[in-house]
A and B are shown apart, each in its own frame.
Chain A
C-alpha cells in the first residue's frame, strides 16, 4: 500500500519547511528576490523570505518558510538497520562464557591523526557512558583501549599479537572526508594481509552511521548516543552467528 508523505507544519500535507542560508550578495530588494527565486528552484511553493540580514560586505543571510511540493511514498523507503537484541550486562557476560568459554578479546582506539578519545573511552573504559558500564568492566571481555592517533598498522599488529576477536575504531573528524580515508586505510591493510575475516570490525563516531560503516566494509557502525551494552550485545550476537 502506498503511503505518500510530506513535511508537516500544522496541517497534514501542508509541506511546511523552514530554511536558512547565505547568498554572496549585498542585502536589498534584489537580494530578497534572489532568495525567493532560488528557493522556488528547489521546488517549493508559497515562499516567504521572513528575514534578511547583512552579515558582511557582499553577504546576506536569509530565513525562509516555504511549502514543499513533492511527496514521497514511505512504503518504499528502506534503511540499513542493525539487527540484534539489546541485552544487559549480566546476560551478555553469561552468553560470552557459554559461547566462547574464554574472554572475548577487544582492541580499540582512534586511528589516523584523530585525537578525539571521549567517544571510544565512553564505550571501552570502566566508567562507561550514561550509567552504562564500559567494556573494560565486563568480566568476560578483555578490552584494550590503545588511545588516540593510533597508526592503522599498529592497531593491526596489536590485534594479531593479542588474538583479538574484534577491532573497534573511532573517528570524529570528518573534514575533507578524513574519517573515510582512515577507515578505508584500515580495511585495505587488513585485506592486504589476508586478515579481513579474522576480526569483527566496528566503527563509531558522531558522524558514523551503520550504513556508512557497512559501505566501507565494516561489520557495524555506531553513532551518537551509543551505549557500551549495545556494542557488547552486537559483538556477542555476531560471534554466535559466525560460530553457527
Chain B
C-alpha cells in the first residue's frame, strides 16, 4: 500500500539504529523499578480502595515497605508472605497491613518454596486479569465489528464523568469510533490514581478505575445501538503509567496514550522514572491487547513543524523499538504524528502529504495516530473548520489509522456537543467522498512530495545516528525533541526510582517477559 517510493535498505538501517537506541535504554530499565511499578503489581494482585485520607491502598503499602527500607526487594514477596500469614484475600490482607495489624516484613516465617508458590499463584491471577479483558473485547468485537480505518476519534472533557457520558453518546450517534476521556489538568503529575467516580475536573475528567467502568458501560450500550465496536481511550502517560494500564486492563479499555517521551518533554516528568514505568505499562498493554498511542504530534506545537518533521519520524522509530521490547505487535502501535504546519506556508498541504505518506510507508501495519491542526487553529471557527476539512482529506488519502477529529473551536474551549457534531459531519463527508482516492494516486517521481519525504527520512536517520552515539537520555538533555531540554536528574518523580536488589522479585513482569 505505500504510495511513496522509499529505499527499503534505508528503512532497515533506521529501524536497526532505533533498536540499538531502545536496547541501550532497556539495559537501564532492567536494573531498576519504581514505586509505581510496585503499586501496579499490587493492583494486579487485587488490591484496591483507599484509606481514611483518600490515599489508595497500593500507595500506602508501598510507602510502608519503603519506610522499612525494604523496597529494593519489591512488594511482591513481602505481600505474598503477608497473605500467607493472614490467610485472607489480597484486598483484606492489604487492609490489615494498612491498619498496622499485619506487617510486611515477615518473609523469614515461610520457606522460599511456599513464598515462590504464593507469588506465582498471584502472578498467574494477574495475567488472567489481562487475558480476560482481551477475551471480553474479542467477544464484543465479534458482535459489533470494528469500523474501517481511519477510525474517528473524538474527545470528551467536561470534568464530570456523567456529563462526559452524555457527550460521548452524542459523538457515537454522529459517527465516533473511539471516545477519549481527556484527563483533568495535571493529573499526570500526581503520584497516585484517584479513586471512585468523579464529577469535578479542570479541562478534563480524572482517570479513575470507576470512571473507566462508567464510560465503558455507556460505550457498550452505544456500540450495540450503532452496530460497531466503539473503543474507549484514556491516558497513561505521567507518574502512574503502569497503574493506569492495570486499571485499564480491569475495565476493558481499548487504547491508552502511553508515551514516556511525552511525559518527559511536556510534563517535566523525570526520564529515568518514566522509562521504567513505561516498560511495565506497555508489557501490560501488550498482554491485555490495549493499543497504545504515542505523542510525537506534540513536538510540532513547541518546535516548527517543517524544520522538525524529522524529530517526529526519529521518535516514532524509537518508540516502535521500545514498544517491541515490551512485546507490542504492529497492530497495537498507534504511533503519533500531526498536521501542524503553519497554514500560511505555500504548499503546506504538500508537506503534510509527504510527512503522512512517509509515516505510512515506515509503519505499514501500524494504526497510525494522526493529529489534526491545533496550534494554528484560529478563533475564527469557520476558518478552523476549513483547516480540518483539508486535514480530513489528507488522512483518508494517506490511509491513516486513528483520525483525531479536529474541532472547529480548538482555539477556544474543550468541545461542546454541537462543536463535536459539526466536526464529525465534515469527517463523514470527506471520508465518504474520497474513500478510494489514495488508491488511485501515485506521486510523481522526484516531485516535491517524494523529495520532501526522502529529506525527512535522511534527517531522521542522521538524528538516530547521533542519538545512538550519545544515548537517548543525553539526546533529550540536549533538546533534540520538541526544542525542549530536560536533565536526566531533573523533573518529577525521580525519588520513586530504585535499583533492584539481588532479592528483587516481580513475577508478573517475569511472566510478561516470558521468563518463567
By a beta-carbon cutoff of 8 Å, the part of chain A in contact with chain B is 20-22, 53-57, 59, 61, 113-115, 117-118, 121, 147-149, 173, 175-176, 178, 206, 224
Is residue B192 within 8 Å, beta carbon to beta carbon, of the partner chain? Answer: no
Tell me the complex Cα distance, A147–B203, Å: 20
Pair A20/B418 contact, Cβ less than 8 Å: yes
CB distance from B102 to the nearest CB of A (A): 37
With A113-B189, A115-B186, A115-B266: A175-B301 Cβ-Cβ less than 8 Å: no
State A175–B416 Cα separation when bound (angstroms): 13
With A115-B186, A178-B202 as contacts: A22 and B169 at CB distance below 8 Å: no
The answer, yes or no, to whether B411 is at the interface (CB within 8 Å) is: yes
Residues in B whose Cβ lies below 8 Å from that of A173: 185, 202-203
Q: A55-B170, A115-B186 are in contact. Are A22 and B417 (CB under 8 A)?
A: yes
Residue of B174, B202, B302, B417 with most chain A CB atoms under a 10 A cut-off: B202
A176, B268: Cα distance in complex, Å: 24
11 pairs, A vs B, C-beta closer than 8 Å? A55-B418, A55-B421, A56-B166, A56-B170, A56-B173, A56-B174, A56-B417, A57-B173, A61-B418, A117-B302, A149-B268
What 6 new A-B contacts, CB under 8 Å, besides A22-B417, A147-B268? A20-B418, A56-B169, A56-B173, A56-B174, A113-B186, A118-B302
Measured CA separation A27–B189 after assembly (Å): 43
> B418, A22: Cβ atoms under 8 Å?
yes
Selected contact of A55 from candidates B159, B173, B301, B411, CB within 8 Å = B173
Residues in A whose Cβ lies below 8 Å from that of B118: none
Partner of B159, one of A61, A121, A175: A175
- Chain B residues within 8 Å of A149, by CB: 186, 189, 268
Residues of A within 8 A of B418 (CB): 20-22, 55, 61
B173–A118 touching, CB < 8 Å: no
Please name the residue on chain A nearest to B225 by beta carbon: A57
Nearest-neighbour CB distance to chain B for A145, whole angstroms, equals 12
- Across-interface contacts of A20 in B (CB, < 8 A): 418
The answer on a CB contact under 8 Å between B185 and A224 is no
Residue among B166, B169, B203 with the highest chain A CB neighbour number at 10 A: B203
Interface string of B246-281 (1 = CB under 8 A from A): 000000000000000000001110000000000000
Task: Report, nearest first, the 5 A-B pairs whose CB atoms are least far apart.
Answer: A56-B170, A113-B186, A55-B421, A175-B203, A61-B418
Q: Decide yes or no: A22 and B416 within 8 Å by CB, A61-B421, A115-B267 being known contacts.
A: yes
Whether B92 sits at the interface, judged by CB under 8 Å, is no
Which residues of B have CB within 8 Å of A113? Answer: 185-186, 189
A151 to chain B, nearest CB (A): 12
Please give, as numbers and ranges, the residues of chain A lying within 8 Å of B202 by CB-CB distance: 173, 175-176, 178
Q: How many B residues, CB 8 Å from partner? A: 25
Binding site for A on B (CB under 8 A): 159, 166, 169-170, 173-174, 185-186, 189, 202-203, 266-268, 301-302, 375, 379, 411, 413-414, 416-418, 421
Chain A residues near B411 (CB-CB < 8 A): 206
Contact (Cβ within 8 A) A55 B417: yes
Q: Which residues of A contact B170 (CB under 8 A)?
A: 55-56, 59
Query: Across the interface, which residues of B come within 8 angstroms of A61, CB to CB?
Result: 417-418, 421
Give bound CA distance, A115 to B301, whole Å.
13
Residues of chain A with a CB closer than 8 A to B375's CB: 118
Tell me which residues across on chain B come within 8 A of A56, comparing CB atoms.
166, 169-170, 173-174, 417
- In the complex, which residue of chain B has the Cβ closest to the Cβ of A113? B186
Q: Is the interface of A mostly helix, strand, loop or mixed?
A: mixed
How many angstroms from the CA of A20 to the CA of B382 in the assembled complex? 13
Contacts of A59 in B (CB 8 A): 170, 417
Task: Please determine whether B185 and A175 come into contact, CB atoms closer than 8 angstroms.
Answer: yes
Chain A residues contacting B185 (CB-CB under 8 Å) are: 113-115, 173, 175, 178
Residues of A close to B302: CB separation below 8 A: 117-118, 121
From residue A19, how far is it (CB to closest CB) to chain B in Å? 11
Q: Which residues of B contact A21 (CB under 8 A)?
A: 418
Could you tell me the distance between the alpha carbons of A157 and B286 in the complex, rounded to whole angstroms? Answer: 46
Q: Which partner residue on chain A sits nearest B424 by CB separation?
A: A55
Please, which residues of chain B bring their CB within 8 A of the CB of A147?
Answer: 268
Residue of A whose beta carbon sits closest to that of B302:
A118
Report the minimal beta-carbon distance from A233 to chain B, rounded to whole angstroms: 24
**B186 to chain A: which residues have CB within 8 Å?**
113, 115, 149
Residues of chain B with a CB closer than 8 A to A121's CB: 302
Q: Which of A54, A55, A57, A173 has the most CB of B within 10 A?
A: A55
Kindly report which residue of chain A lies nearest to residue B375, judged by CB atoms.
A118
Q: How far is the CA of A138 from the CA of B159 in the complex (A)?
A: 42
Shortest C-beta distance, B12 to chain A (Å), equals 36
Residues of B within 8 A of A53 (CB): 421
Could you tell me the distance in whole angstroms from the C-beta of B490 to the nearest C-beta in chain A?
11
B472 CB to closest chain A CB (Å) equals 22
Least CB distance, B405 to chain A, in whole angstroms: 14
Whole-angstrom distance between the Cβ of A131 and the nearest chain B Cβ = 12
Distance A22 CA – B166 CA, assembled complex (angstroms): 13
Minimum CB–CB distance from A20 to chain B (whole Å) comes to 7
Contacts of B189 in A (CB 8 A): 113, 149
Whole-angstrom distance between the Cβ of A244 and the nearest chain B Cβ: 38
